[in-house]
Amino acid sequence: MQQEIRKQVFKNAYLHGGRADISSVVGKLISIDPSVRKDMKNLMAMIKKYVDEVNSMSRDQLEEIVNTEYPDILIREKKEEKHELPELPNVHGNVVMRMAPSPSGPLHIGHSRMAILNDEYVRRYGGRLILRIEDTNPENIDPDAYKMIPEDLQWLGVNVTETVIQSSRMEFYYSEARRMISEGYMYVIEENQKEFHDLKLKKIPVMERDSEPSVNLEKFDRMLSGHYNDGEAALVMKTDINHPNPSVRDWIAFRINTHEHPLTGSRYTVYPTMNFSVSVDDHYLGLTHVIRGIDHLVNTEKQKYVFMYNNWKLPEYFHYGFISIPDTILKTTIIKEGIKSGKYSGWDDIRLGTLVALKKRGYRPDTFRKYWISSGMNKSNATFSWEIFNSMDREIIDYDTERYFFVPEPTPIHIKNPLVLKSHAMLHPQRPDSGFREYELPPDAMIYFPEEELSKIKEGEIIRLKDLCAAIMKGGKLQYTKDEPEGRVKIIQWAPENSGDMEVFHPDGNIDKGKIEPLAMDKHQVVQLERYGYVNLYGTRAYFLHK
């Protein structure tokens, strides 16, 4: 009965955040065997003994014992809370939705929210999901992004039904602009654009605002012909000069930029701003619903003027709250500078928050989908939780992840033993069919031991070398012992003499050097290094995933 009591205490602690509750354990034991009521005093004393033991442990120590001694605790049906996105308004049949990244670099973790939410709704209702690459600012384009963005989306499991590249639609934008100029909705300003902005702040229109459409058409054609240099002219969308938000008042719809474009070269020098090209494309591509961040609220207000002037039906707009992602490098300009200077090895440097970097560390695409669906479409600003994200990833990967030993800062030490010692452990404690890790150690074998752990072992203390044997410290040396330690005992990972060198790279820039057991040396996959964490193995190096 004593072993059952200990097991139930550990189970209670494992399932409730690492702390065992005496009352809960008592109730469980009585339900298992009502006869224990006959000696409640003795029962309570034993329960308290084990509760005190387990509640003094770290989470890692608790998990170590559960994995080793009570793996059946882990094999239980998990009842997960079901998370679903809210219904979209005014859905009539299939939907048409879009993702609209700028090709300044690959996608990062923040972009995955936009991609997954749109993909989820197209999966639900059917229809089209358009990838629209918005490349009308030639100064902020990484040519490799045209390839990297689709690859990122494919890895996420996002089903793109068609791809539109805005720089291939320039003549179409010019045609739409000419039509709207001729209808009196747009005008050209020349030379002093600072004066235009200053007057706008004062709600004062510039003189050009009332010029004839024919005059504006002529000036626009001169813009297209190369008559003006950068900044000398711009095409403006008329809105409401008295609008409470100065940004919404008469906004620039086309500007001159003579920087060479990676796809079209120097063929075009007049480019639409985002608010013009987006409005036109959303209409002609048949968008029914637009999901994007709350930072686009002002852009939505601007774009509504284009729809109103043309009597176009507005898509249904939904703006989700801003998500702050702590301790994560996302800014493209910072990353580009870091790559150029040699600070970062590339877009997949694991210190970055790009999807290629997170993929390299070993995250599963399903984790991103699960996290963003559970976050929902909340309009409130929030902070991304790496703790929750990693917990979700752990649930997804754990069942498929083999276990191995890694010894950081290894110290070689002989274990005095008269016999051949055999180590025997399942590759996964919950899957007997996963295979086994087996090693034989000859008498007086040399093993690698974590230096930090070795310094903490006291003279005469009995420890357990995980999956191998118990050992006692005598005269500064480890010695095999048949004696089984009582109560709480240190369980320490080790590595045999023929283990390989391994470097584990962390996202904070730290590198742990150590020894990894031979059976793991040729692995190229995510594994759990016991008592250390999950890593993605790449030969003689590994990238840290999470605990």
Q: How many domains does the chain have?
A: 3
CATH at residue 459 = 2.40.240.10
Comparison of pLDDT for 10 and 146, the residue scoring more: 146
Comparison of pLDDT for 42 and 304, the residue scoring more: 304
For residue 339, the model assigns a pLDDT of 98
- 87-129 pLDDT tens trace: 999 999 999 999 999 999 999 999 999 999 999 999 999 999 9
Residue 249 falls within a domain, yes or no? yes
Residue 321 falls within a domain, yes or no? no
Cβ-based neighbour number of residue 224 at 10 Å: 17
Helix or strand run (H / E) with residue 445: strand 445-450
Q: What is the dihedral of CA 426, 430, 434, 435, to 10 degrees?
A: 20
Helix or strand run (H / E) with residue 319: strand 316-320
| HEC-encoded secondary structure of 340-376 | HHCCCCCCCCCCECEHHHHHHHCCCHHHHHHHHHHHC
User: From CA 63, how far away is CA 59, in angstroms rounded?
Assistant: 6
Domain boundary among 274, 296, 318: 274
Q: Which of 93, 90, 107, 158 is nearest to 129 (CA)?
A: 158
- 345-402 pLDDT tens trace: 999 999 999 999 999 999 999 999 999 999 999 889 999 999 999 999 999 999 999 9
Q: Is the pLDDT at 77 greater than 60, yes or no?
A: no
pTM metric for this prediction: 0.84
Sorted by sequence, the CB contacts under 8 Å of residue 512 that are 6+ apart come out as 408, 409, 503, 504, 506
CATH at residue 179 = 3.90.800.10
Domain boundary among 225, 245, 274: 274
Comparison of pLDDT for 459 and 41, the residue scoring more: 459
User: From CA 280, how far away is CA 253, in angstroms rounded?
Assistant: 11
Domain boundary among 243, 258, 274: 274
- 148-206 pLDDT tens trace: 999 999 999 999 999 999 999 999 999 999 999 999 999 999 977 888 999 999 999 99
For residue 48, the model assigns a pLDDT of 87
Q: Is the pLDDT at 76 greater than 60, yes or no?
A: no
Claim to verify: residue 424 and residue 540 sit in the same structural domain: yes
pLDDT above 90: percentage of residues in the chain:
75
For residue 391, the model assigns a pLDDT of 93
> What's the CA angle centered on 399, arms 368 and 374, to 5 degrees?
25
For residue 486, the model assigns a pLDDT of 72
Residue 439 falls within a domain, yes or no? yes
- 219-241 pLDDT tens trace: 999 999 999 999 999 999 999 99
User: From CA 203, how far away is CA 243, in angstroms rounded?
Assistant: 8
Claim to verify: residue 70 and residue 177 sit in the same structural domain: no
Q: Is the pLDDT at 487 greater than 80, yes or no?
A: no
For residue 42, the model assigns a pLDDT of 84
Claim to verify: residue 415 and residue 537 sit in the same structural domain: yes
For residue 75, the model assigns a pLDDT of 57
Claim to verify: residue 183 and residue 65 sit in the same structural domain: no
Print the domain residue range for 46. 1-74
For residue 13, the model assigns a pLDDT of 85
Claim to verify: residue 536 and residue 409 sit in the same structural domain: yes
Q: Is the pLDDT at 417 greater than 90, yes or no?
A: no
User: From CA 547, how far away is CA 545, in angstroms rounded?
Assistant: 7
Claim to verify: residue 70 and residue 175 sit in the same structural domain: no
| Band of pLDDT at residue 145, cut at 50, 70 and 90 | very high
For residue 539, the model assigns a pLDDT of 87
Mean pLDDT value across residues 281-290: 98
Mean pLDDT value across residues 293-298: 94
Claim to verify: residue 411 and residue 527 sit in the same structural domain: yes
For residue 72, list its beta bridge partners: none
Residue 50 falls within a domain, yes or no? yes
Helix or strand run (H / E) with residue 536: strand 533-538
**Mean pLDDT score of the chain:** 92
For residue 74, the model assigns a pLDDT of 66
Using alpha carbons, list the distances in angstroms from residue 349 to 151, 332, 503, 509, 527: 17, 13, 15, 10, 20
Please give the full DSSP string across 487-504, using - where no structure is assigned: SS--EE--EETTPEEEEE
Mean pLDDT value across residues 478-499: 87
